[in-house]
Structure 1
Amino acid sequence: MPLSPDQQAEIDAQRSAPAQTLRATVPGMEAHLYTAHPVLDHGFVRVIDYMGDDSAICQAARVSYGRGTKSVQNDEGLIRYLMRHWHSTPFEMCEIKLHVKLPVFVARQWIRHRTANVNEYSARYSILDREFYIPAPDALNAQSQVNNQGRGELLEGDEAARVLELLKADSTRAYDHYQDMISQENGQQGLARELARMNLPANIYTQWYWKVDLHNLLHFLRLRADAHAQYEIRVYADAMCKIVADWVPFAYKAFEDYRLGAVTMSSQMMDCLRRMLAGETVTEENCGMSKREWREFQGVLS
């Protein structure tokens, strides 16, 4: 179960006592507040709080024009201009605070985005729950033969069953030993929690509050919602994309068009494209790019 009974009770209490406010609110985000969106087998993403909307982005952009020079351009057009030309500070005027439950190995990838405020559940003070991420059979892949940090073909049959059994058995054994080490029964003093936690596997679940501005959130989503991102972090990014689309629809649509759905070409790629448009036959041998760059270029064209 993603939410503990105590967490669910807290959420129910918060939802039953709405507060009035004079600040800007977004109906789509109000519906997300205190709602846990399930991710993976035990994880979730939920909105704790947010600040700003599409109008806040435009307000911040126009304040720099000076009095008497306010553009008559509509908000959506302005936001698309800002996104298209890589302006960042107006998007920093919006912020969101999320409560996320995720496997530790996903958290270690996530924390590399160092532009957020984070407070994580502490295993020094509290005992972690017996909850582990065990991949679904359709998420068990072999090592890719062309990408050292990617996945290849799906594992099937006996090999898939063997891997799943090992994951389950190792997770259970490690947690049993963790419990045994911290136990104060039978005259034991119990090992300190801050030491006992080192025996836990990287697929155990942790939780944190993660607060970030929209500019840095979109940068996170551009990398982690990409098809090349690891599946286990990508599904969190996908859930967050749906939330952002309800929060700042103009900004998210521009993000989809100019970031998620766009490509970046090197000067060599642009030169090859011009040559192709001029009728020249461009091949891997005469393109002036490495094999990997050529393969990526072919991927862009297709």
Structure 2
Amino acid sequence: MPLSPEQEAEIAEQRSTARPTLRATSPGMEAHLYTAHPVLDHGFVRVVDYMGDDAAICQAARVSYGRGTKSVSNDEGLIRYLMRHWHSTPFEMCEVKFHVKLPVFVARQWIRHRTANVNEYSARYSILDREFYIPEPDQLAAQSVINNQGRGAALSGEEAQRVLRFLQDDASRAYDHYQEMISTEGQQGLARELARMNLPANIYTQWYWKVDLHNLLHFLRLRADSHAQYEIRVYAETMCRIVADWVPFAYAAFEDYRLGGATLSKTALDCLRRMLKGEEVTQENSGMSKGEWREFRATLD
């Protein structure tokens, strides 16, 4: 299960205690504080702390650019301007600290985003719980034939059952041996920092992940995308819902210009202009590779 009874009791206690403050708060984010949002079979995302709101973005922008923003009459319009023109530092004025429980192989993808502060549960000092990510049957898929990083058609029938059996049996066996190696009954017991190397990549870990809004939105743009791996995408989608409540103006602009928008190369823009003039443009006369052309057409369709 995502939360133990002890963790649920701790969260309930934290949520029951109000703390007066003079700093700016976001009603939407206050509703999320400490609450664990379940992800996958044993994972979760919860907000531990945050700083700033939509107004903090505008405040920083107006300090930075002074009179140049006087013509922007409202916060929403200013935020959309900043997002549209790829400004970054005003969005860095907002920060959030997440507590995330996730499979190790997802964590190894996630940690490639090197623009956050991370502190992970240490298996050198503590014993990891017997919790493994086992995919739902509809997430068991073959290798894509067109994308070396992607999935193809879902496995079915006996093949799907065989794969699930391997995942469950191998994880359980590895954890059994992990426990036996660190046992101290009648033996010295292997050090935890060594015994952990026998654990599979689908075991769950936990960390605190603190990031500013600019870098969080960059993470979400990549990981909430439909092409991202499912297991990290569901975490990103959960965080998107949290961010939408935290900074609604900033998230709406992000959704419009980043998630729902597209960036065209100079060559692609030239092809689009030719198309609008009625010219027949093909991959052969476009100046693009087959891959670029396929992506360009997908953007337009």
More divergent stretch after superposition (127-136 vs 283-292): 283-292
Q: Is the 1:244–1:252 contact (alpha carbons within 8 Å) kept by the matching residues of 2?
A: yes
Query: Aligned-residue CA RMSD in angstroms?
Result: 1.2
Does 1:7 find its partner at 2:13?
Answer: no
Counterpart of 2:151 in structure 1 is: 151
User: Using a 3 Å threshold, how does the CA distance of structure 1 residues 141 and 66 change in structure 2: closer, same or farther?
Assistant: same
For residues 115-194 of structure 1, what are the structure 2 equivalents within 5 Å?
Answer: 115-185=115-185, 187-194=186-193
Unaligned runs of 5+ in 1: none
**Is 1:18 matched with 2:18?**
yes
SS at match of 1:243: helix
Q: Which amino acid aligns with 1:74?
A: N
Q: Distance in 1 between matches of 2:219 and 2:26?
A: 22
CA distance in 1 between counterparts of 2:25 and 2:102 reads: 28
CA contact (8 A) 1:175 1:200 kept: yes
Q: How many pairs were matched up? A: 301
Task: Check the 8 A contact 2:72/2:78 in 1, yes or no.
Answer: no
Per the alignment, residue 263 of structure 2 pairs with: 264
Q: Distance in 2 between matches of 1:287 and 1:33?
A: 51
1:34 aligns with 2:34: yes
In 2, Cα distance between the equivalents of 1:69 and 1:200?
55
Distance, in Å, in 1 between the alignment partners of 2:174 and 2:68 is: 67
The 8 Å contact of residues 15 and 34 in structure 1, kept in 2 or not, is answered as: yes
* Match of residue 272 from structure 2: 273
Post-superposition offset of 1:144: 0.4
State the one-letter code of the partner of 2:38: P
Q: How far apart are the structure 2 equivalents of 1:40 and 1:221?
A: 18
- Return closer, same or farther for 1:91/1:68 CA change in 2, 3 Å cut-off: closer
Q: Separation in 2 of the partners of 1:145 and 1:169?
A: 28
Give distance in 1, aligned partners of 2:194 and 2:263. 46
- Which secondary structure state, in structure 2, belongs to the residue aligned with residue 98 of structure 1? strand
Separation (CA, whole Å) in 1 of partners of 2:146 and 2:66: 53
Once residues 123 and 160 of structure 1 are traced to their aligned partners in structure 2, the CA distance between those partners, rounded to angstroms, is: 32
**After the TM superposition, which residues 1-302 of structure 1 pair with which residues of structure 2 at under 5 Å, given as runs?**
1-66=1-66, 70-71=70-71, 73-185=73-185, 187-302=186-301
CA distance in 1, matches of 2:200, 2:49: 31
Closer/same/farther in 2, CA of residues 71 and 272 from structure 1, 3 Å limit: closer
Note if contact 1:171-1:201 (Cα within 8 Å) is conserved in structure 2: yes
Cα deviations by residue, 1:30-82 (Å, 9 ceiling, x for unpaired)? 11011000000000000001100000000000012347974552000000000
Given that 1:89 and 1:215 are in contact with CA atoms closer than 8 Å, whether structure 2 keeps it comes out as: yes
Offset of residue 269 of structure 1: 1.1
Question: Which deviates more from structure 2 when the two are superposed, residues 46-55 or residues 260-269?
Answer: 260-269
Which structure 1 residue ranges, 4+ long, deviate > 3 Å from structure 2? 65-72
CA–CA distance in structure 1, aligned partners of residues 168 and 213 of structure 2: 38
Secondary structure, in 3 states, of the residue corresponding to 1:41? coil
| Of 64-73 and 2-11, the range deviating more from structure 2 | 64-73
1:11–1:237: structure 2 CA closer, same or farther, 3 Å change rule? Answer: same
Provide the rounded CA distance (Å) in 1 between the counterparts of 2:82 and 2:69. 17
- Give yes or no for contact 1:62–1:71 (8 Å, CA) kept in 2: no
Q: In structure 2, how many angstroms separate the alpha carbons of the residues matched to 1:16 and 1:71?
A: 43
- The change in CA–CA distance for 1:174 and 1:69 in structure 2 (over 3 A counts) is closer
Identity over aligned pairs, percent: 82
Q: Which runs of 5+ in 2 are unaligned?
A: none
Q: How far apart, in 2, do the equivalents of 1:159 and 1:275 lie?
A: 49
